[in-house]
Amino acid sequence: MRFAGIIAEYNPFHNGHAWQLAQARALGAQTVAVALSSGLVQRGALPLLPDRVRAEAALRAGADLVFALPAPWACSGAEPFARAGVALLAAAGCDTLVFGAETPNAALLMLAARTLLSAEYTAALKAQLAGPARSFAAARAAAAEAVSPGQGLQQLLGRPNDNLAVEYCKAVLQLAPQMGVCPLGRQGAQHDQSLPADGYASASALRQLWLAEGAQALAPYVPANALDIYRTAEVQGLLVDPRAADVALLSRLRQLAAGDFARIRGVNEGLEYLLEEQVRTAVTAEGLADALTGVRYPRARMRRLCMDAALGYTADGLPDLPPYLHLLGAKKGALPLLGQCSLPAGPSLAKLARENPACAAAVQAQSRADALGTLCRRSAAAMGECFTAPAVLLD
């Protein structure tokens, strides 16, 4: 491993993330690039902090380059999220993908990935879905176990970070077979665990803690230099205001008709009518997600679908993969690596938009997420920040 890549949200950056960066260095990485969720996060929400605040925290903890994982792909299911991140890091020149997993067994994760890409799995999944009513996730895990029995794949795919790790491996096999994989065991608190453990806390727990008690309450669980950045961001009013985000999201959704919902990516089987019906009475984003969630429609998918609808992300409006590398921040010594990228790369989103039609479409979609995010901070800001804010550069 010489050039490691990490796909992350850093929402917010914490001790577990710092440990992961340090491990990549310890395992031989001379350079570390991060593909960072930009504008939106995978659970269908605005990130707690702006992109460049999160990028600076990563750079100060050891990253060399931080690229944006554009909003339409950041706010997507595990498979497209993983594919987008791997495509970006491969284009940047990374030779190894480093990621967290509950089960840090590269051979087992790759076995699961190959199983999910096999024709036998496709047939087994079809059979599972034709049986008694069950969630897609449960059918998927059962089908994988049927194809590769006795390997523990059913349990593996039932764990959130292991499931995402398998998607990373699938994306590597499909898009960047020359890239190695390096899974690392999660430290301390597990995904969405509410209680901290041994100086580590999950990002979801830290978001709740910050909103309830302020940045200083994060001191035991984040690097000291990150805490300094967070205190400044708090004073500047850069945190997302959850109530403002609810109002902004719902106001956009209430203006849509069933025909508008029908064009949104991921809408099928009459789901547009359910969305239109529930939007009429919802007064919070969480309440809307509650009303939409069921066996057929997982909560995370419904949250993302609502965000897609609010921002007008349609089924045919975007390329399959991000078409550029937007630099959010870098160590100055790593900047020459931009010349080796296989996609258009640089800190100016406006220049990237002029590269080709696919870049223009992706930038337009990114700007819509940016406009929503800057409006929903504790101190609202003008739209267009994604075009005007400079990349974070550190010595």
pLDDT in tens, 127-167: 999 888 678 889 999 999 999 999 999 999 989 889 999 99
For the chain, the structural domain boundaries read 3-103+182-233+319-375+382-394, 242-311
pLDDT of residue 194: 55
Q: What is the 3-state secondary structure (H, E, C) of the chain?
A: CCEEEEEECCCCCCHHHHHHHHHHHHCCCCEEEEEEECCCECCCECCCCCHHHHHHHHHHCCCCEEEEECHHHHCCCHHHHHHHHHHHHHHHCCCEEEEEECCCCHHHHHHHHHHHCCHHHHHHHHHHHHCCCCCHHHHHHHHHHHHCCCCCHHHHCCCHHHHHHHHHHHHHHHHCCCCEEEEEECCCCCCCCCCCECCECCHHHHHHHHHHHCHHHHHHHCCHHHHHHHHHHHHCCCCECHHHHHHHHHHHHHCCCHHHHHCECCCCCCHHHHHHHHHCCCCCHHHHHHHHCCCCCCHHHHHHHHHHHHHCCECCCCCCCCCCEEEEEEEHHHHHHHHHCCCCEECCHHHHHCCCHHHHHHHHHHHHHHHHHHHCECCCCCCCHHHHCCCEEEC
Cβ partners under 8 Å of residue 195, min gap 6: 189, 201, 205
C-beta contacts of 116-122 below 8 A and 24+ residues apart:
116/140, 116/144, 116/166, 116/170, 117/170, 117/173, 117/174, 118/147, 120/147, 121/147
Per-residue pLDDT band for 11 (boundaries 50, 70, 90) equals very high
CB 360 within 8 A of CB 350: no
* pLDDT, mean of residues 62-85: 98
Is 80 exceeded by the pLDDT of residue 33?
Answer: yes
Is 80 exceeded by the pLDDT of residue 367?
Answer: yes
pLDDT of residue 1: 94
CB 92 within 8 A of CB 48: no
pLDDT of residue 371: 98
* pLDDT, mean of residues 294-321: 92
CB 153 within 8 A of CB 121: no
> What span, in angstroms and rounded, lies between the C-alpha atoms of 332 and 339?
14
Find the helix packing angle between 119-130 and 106-116, rounded to 10°: 70
Q: Which fold has domain 3-103+182-233+319-375+382-394?
A: Rossmann fold (3.40.50)
* pLDDT, mean of residues 225-230: 98
Compute the mean pLDDT over every residue in the chain, rounded to the nearest whole number.
94
pLDDT of residue 96: 98
pLDDT of residue 134: 76
Residues pairing with 23 in the sheet: none
156-212 per-position pLDDT tens digit = 998 988 999 999 999 999 999 999 999 999 775 555 555 566 789 999 999 999 999
pLDDT of residue 294: 85
> What span, in angstroms and rounded, lies between the C-alpha atoms of 16 and 226?
13
Is 90 exceeded by the pLDDT of residue 32?
Answer: yes
Per-residue pLDDT band for 43 (boundaries 50, 70, 90) equals very high
Find the helix packing angle between 242-254 and 285-292, rounded to 10°: 60
> What span, in angstroms and rounded, lies between the C-alpha atoms of 250 and 279?
7
Count CB-CB contacts under 10 A for residue 340: 11
Per-residue pLDDT band for 213 (boundaries 50, 70, 90) equals very high
With a pLDDT cut of 90, the percent of the chain lying above it is 89
Is 70 exceeded by the pLDDT of residue 247?
Answer: yes
Is 80 exceeded by the pLDDT of residue 395?
Answer: yes
Per-residue pLDDT band for 379 (boundaries 50, 70, 90) equals very high
pLDDT of residue 31: 98
Burial of 351 (0-12, 13-18, 19+ CB in 10 A): middle
pLDDT of residue 85: 98
Is 90 exceeded by the pLDDT of residue 340?
Answer: yes
Burial of 154 (0-12, 13-18, 19+ CB in 10 A): middle
pLDDT of residue 190: 53
Among the ranges given (233-247, 286-300, 327-341, 349-363), the one the predictor scored with the smallest mean pLDDT: 286-300
Handedness of CA 63, 234, 196, 141 (dihedral sign): negative
278-290 per-position pLDDT tens digit = 999 999 999 999 9
> What span, in angstroms and rounded, lies between the C-alpha atoms of 11 and 41?
8
Per-residue pLDDT band for 315 (boundaries 50, 70, 90) equals confident
